[in-house]
Amino acid sequence: MDAWVVAHPGPILSRPLRRVRVPVPSPGPGEVLVRVEVCAVCRTDLHLAEGDLRPRRPRTTPGHEAVGRVVAAGPGAGRLSPGTRVGAAWLRSTCGHCRYCLRGSENLCPRSTYTGWDADGGYAEYLTVPEDFAYPLPPETPAEKLAPLLCAGIIGYRALLRSDLPPGGRLGIYGFGASAHLTAQIAIAQGATVHVLTRSARARELAMTLGAASAGDAADAPPEPLDSAILFAPVGELVPVALSALDRGGTLAVAGIHLSDIPPLTYDRHLFQERTLRSVTANTRADGRAYLELARAHPPRVTTVLYPLAEADLALADLAADRVEGAAVLMISSP
């Protein structure tokens, strides 16, 4: 089958990805084999390709927003019948018995593994996924509209929960890519006033069409104090900017897996008056199920830019250069 691997992590212009021919994988115990229809492109894939995330195995195939059809099952699997459409997301497995798993915080499991980092992901014609971590998906929805939900949507949903946005509150969103444009729609649907702050003029235009109350540059102050904020851009310099924009008692949630260094914070200006700074670490399957149910009941407008599998490296380069409006999606096979 055709697949892409991270051959030599480095700047995206050095072409760290290589297109290769490899055997179709065999599903192991508890796993299913999935023929991939599409795979969305996530900034985490870019962090892996460029070495911001240290590779956990050589020549890994990225991609953790894959939609496809089950074609075979390994020993002990079989709940998902052949032909079932499923999604393979970032969280691939957890131990199930540590104190974090037992208390419902499986996203913090020390032995958790991740699609496209610990195991080969969706920049390929086939992948394997543990059956218990595959999300059944509606067969009637275009696959390219489902793929961004599997990380951009789910992580954005968890970040929104972590931001403690009060009912009818004022939410600031810093950076406006795949995850942010989905999260903004949830918040607006729930009655929030959303202010978007991003350096991309095209992203600001998209934000306004989706119902944002305002859209300014990332360094701008929002037009009113914020009850909550989410930082999607992997830019540590924006942490004090976002904290300064919070009202008393406000919360900033940092949604990315990687962040550049945060400048020194001033207690009085950035944290006093009970402002809170929180990180967001992966997601639980409960988060995933809750968000996908919400998206099925209230389908979001999913803005996508489509690429053939042969142009996965170009898709990552466009993402790095902020040339993607919404989510980039690799088109791999017909359903």
| pLDDT of 256 | 87
State the pLDDT at residue 251.
98
- CA proximity to 315, closest of 26, 146, 62: 62
- Nearest 5°: CA angle at 109, between 27 and 51? 75
287: nearest Cα among 188, 207, 183, 185: 183
pLDDT at 32: 98
* Residue 141, amino acid: T
Q: What is the pLDDT averaged over residues 1-29?
A: 97
What phi and psi values does residue 249 have, to the nearest 5 degrees?
A: 75, 10
Q: Is pLDDT above 90 for 89?
A: yes
- Rounded mean pLDDT of the chain? 96
pLDDT tens-digit series, residues 11-23: 999 999 999 999 9
Rg (CA), the chain: 19
Beta-bridged to residue 38, according to DSSP, are 67, 331
CA 160 to chain centre: 13
* H or E element in which residue 287 lies: helix 285-297
3-state secondary structure of 250: strand
pLDDT at 94 over 90: yes
Residues 297, 288: Cα–Cα separation, whole Å: 14
Give φ, ψ of 153 to 5 degrees.
-70, -50
* Residue found by looking up tokens 């988060």 in the block: 287
Residue 266 CA, chain-centre distance (Å), reads 31
Q: Model-level pTM greater than 0.85?
A: yes
Residue among 288, 331, 272 nearest 129 (CA): 288
Handedness of CA 225, 154, 121, 30 (dihedral sign): positive
Phi, psi of 24 (to 5 degrees): -65, 130
Q: Does the pLDDT at position 276 exceed 80?
A: yes
* Res. 335: pLDDT tops 80: no
Q: DSSP letter at 223?
A: S
| Residue (of 95, 180, 118, 156) closest to 288 by Cα position | 156
Task: State in Å, rounded, how far the first CA of the chain is from the last one.
Answer: 17
Contacts of 45 (CB under 8 A, 6+ apart): 62, 63, 64, 116, 123, 316
Query: How confident is the model at residue 334, as a pLDDT?
Result: 76
Kind of pairing, strands 126-130 and 31-41?
antiparallel
Reported as a single tens digit per residue, the pLDDT across 111-131 is 999 999 999 999 999 999 999
